[in-house]
Amino acid sequence: MKQYINRRHISLVLALFILYLAITYWEIVAKFIQTIFSATMPLLIGGIVAYIVNLLLRQYEHLYLYLFKKPSAQKFKRPVGIVLSYLTIILIIAIVFALVIPELITCVRLLIANHSHIINHFIDYFEHSSDFKGFINSFDASKIQWDKIGKYLTSGVGGTFRTVISTASSVFSAATTAIIAFFFSIYLLIYKEMLQHQFTKLLSTYFSRYQSQIIRVLKVFDESYSNYIVGQCKDAAILGISCFIGMTILRMPYASMIGVVTAFGALIPIIGAILGASVGVIIIFAVSPLQAGIFLIFIILLQQLDNRITYPLVVGRSIGLPSVWVFAAVIIGGGISGILGMMFTVPLFAALYKLLSTDAKNRITIQKENE
């Protein structure tokens, strides 16, 4: 018992000493953490990609086992599932671009055509403006300080060159990160059972007393995030398709593009619907203010139906988080990390809510039994 107490005291003193060093040398510690975070960024992105792709991989593997039941065909289950999962994502992206790009080009051309008279009016103003003509006539090239202009142009060219180099470096770094993340995600998906076995072995070796609790917490988080991602994607697809069908029936312009924008906006809780509707109203208003008003009424009705019927059925039951906490999660996540923070904190709050509510119920039950 004394040995256990001594070990506990030593661990507490060591933890306090490490905390003291971290506070005293915080700048060094922060730079070190930032360096580690930057170095592991491709691996973190690859892990997130692998987690999302794994949701599709499970479905394809179940389908493969259902279609090919021979033992000789089992070894191809994982490669076929991974290829089909990534091809599905690529196909979705290709369809989105095919729907959005042509109508976006048409929209830009229409905006330029409708506002070309503004450009012509601007040119006519300078052609007939007496002030502008007087400025041209009073212009004296001999008073120009050419040495300063030369220095400015030289520094400007140098600055432009540095900007080009910096941009090219950023693009190359982003491409390298994407490639590493892609291959690392494939590696994780291929060896996910082996990694799971190694993680379980690590828990049983060093955290045997808390192994069941850690696994239960991780399962709750996995269930919350997977249900949220699947449910949010389903709801976004339903809302986008409904928007496209409704706009087609009402004969509104840019139905496919606005349907895609609405679907992607629906992936962001609460605020995404407002953003999608705002973009649609602005785009249609350039064509017809009357149709923009009709679209605004239509999208409000559609979102009300989604909020009251579709979203509770598809997403609400899967995450089990009350709407007040969803709102709090969106505000906190948006303040921390913008749109990505909003999408990350909702399932996080759902998992914490489920763990705390379960623990509270267990404690209340134990207290009643003791009484």
pLDDT in tens, 117-144: 555 655 665 566 666 556 556 555 555 5
Distance between CA atoms of 106 and 258, rounded to whole angstroms? 13
How many residues appear in the chain?
A: 371
Distance between CA atoms of 309 and 315, rounded to whole angstroms? 10
| More confident of the two residues 54 and 331 | 54
pLDDT digits (tens, 9 = 90+) for 348-359: 888 888 888 888
pLDDT average, residue stretch 22-35: 80
Distance between CA atoms of 229 and 55, rounded to whole angstroms? 9
- At residue 70, the pLDDT reads 81
pLDDT digits (tens, 9 = 90+) for 269-309: 767 777 778 888 888 887 788 888 899 899 888 888 887 77
Tell me which amino acid residue 288 is.
Answer: S
Interaxial angle between packed helices 192-206 and 211-249, expressed in degrees from 0 to 180 and rounded to the nearest 10: 140
Residue 250's CB is within 10 A of a number of other CB atoms, namely: 12
Q: With CA atoms as reference, report the closest residue to 266 among 238, 285, 244, 230.
A: 238
pTM: 0.75
pLDDT of 310 strictly over 80: no
Distance between CA atoms of 186 and 256, rounded to whole angstroms? 33
Percent of the chain exceeding pLDDT 90 equals 13
- At residue 36, the pLDDT reads 86
Give me 23's structure tokens.
């506070």
pLDDT of 50 strictly over 90: yes
Per residue in 239-248, is it b (16+ CB within 10 Å) or e — as a string? Answer: bbebbbebbe
| More confident of the two residues 290 and 320 | 290
